[in-house]
Copies of this chain bind each other. A is one copy, B any other.
Amino acid sequence: MTALTALALNCTLKPSPADSSTDLLLSQVMTELGTHDVTGTTVRVVDFDVRPGVETDMGDGDEWPKIRELVLAADIVVIGTPIWMGHMSSIAQRVLERLDAELSETDEQGRPILFDKVAAVAVVGNEDGAHHATAELYQGLVDVGFTVAAQAATYWNGEAMQTVDYRELDETPEAVANATEILARTSAHLARALRAQPYPAAD
C-alpha cells in the first residue's frame, strides 16, 4: 500500500508570512500524523485568490483549482480555523462553499468523488467557539462525502474574554497535545481502513 497523505488547509485571515496560531496547531497535527506514516502538506488558503462561488472553477484567475487538486489527491484533509465572533473564519466557510461543488462530481463507479477521504478539524481562538466551529465543519465535510473519525478534533482557546494567543503560550497544554494525538491516531487508522475497504457504490 502506498503511503497515506494529508492536506492541512489553514483558514487564518492573515496572509503569509504573518504568525498564525492555527498554523502552529496544524503543524502539531501534521507531526502526529507523521508518526502514523502519513506525509503532509499545509496550505494557507488566504495566500490564494479563492473566489466566492460554488463551482469547482470560478474562472478569471480563480486559484481554488490549485487547492482542489491537492484535496483530491489527499487521503486526509485537516481544516484548521481561527475563531472570529464565535464562528469559524470566513475563509473556512469559503472552503466549504467551494467543496459544495463536489456534490455533483462522481468517480468512475458513480460514487461521490470525496468518498473514502477522512476529514479532521483543528480550531484555535483566544476564547470560546471551538465546539461550534467543529460542528459546522463536521457537518459540511460529511455532507460532501468525507468521513470523520472518533474524536477527530483538536482545539485550544483561553478563558472567557482573554487575549493571549495559542502561539504565545509557553508550552502546549497537555490536554491539547492529547487531543491532537487522538485525532491523528483515529484519522490515520480510518483513512487506512477506507483505503483497504472503500465504500461500495449504489447497487
Please tell me the size bucket of the interface on A.
35 or more
Total copies of the chain:
4
Which label, helix, strand, loop or mixed, suits the secondary structure of the A interface? Answer: mixed
A160 to B169, CA, bound (A): 13
User: Would B199 and A185 count as touching, CB distance under 8 A?
Assistant: yes
Indicate the member of A129, A132, A149 with the most B CB atoms within 10 Å.
A132
**Residues in A77-129 with C-beta less than 8 Å from chain B:** 84-91, 93-94, 96-97, 100, 112, 114-116, 127-129
Scoring A residues 143 to 171 as 1 if CB is less than 8 Å from chain B, else 0, what string do you get? 10111111111011111111000000000
Q: 16 A-B Cβ contacts within 8 A?
A: A13-B97, A14-B53, A15-B52, A54-B84, A84-B96, A86-B134, A87-B136, A90-B97, A116-B150, A138-B138, A143-B153, A156-B159, A156-B160, A157-B160, A189-B200, A190-B199
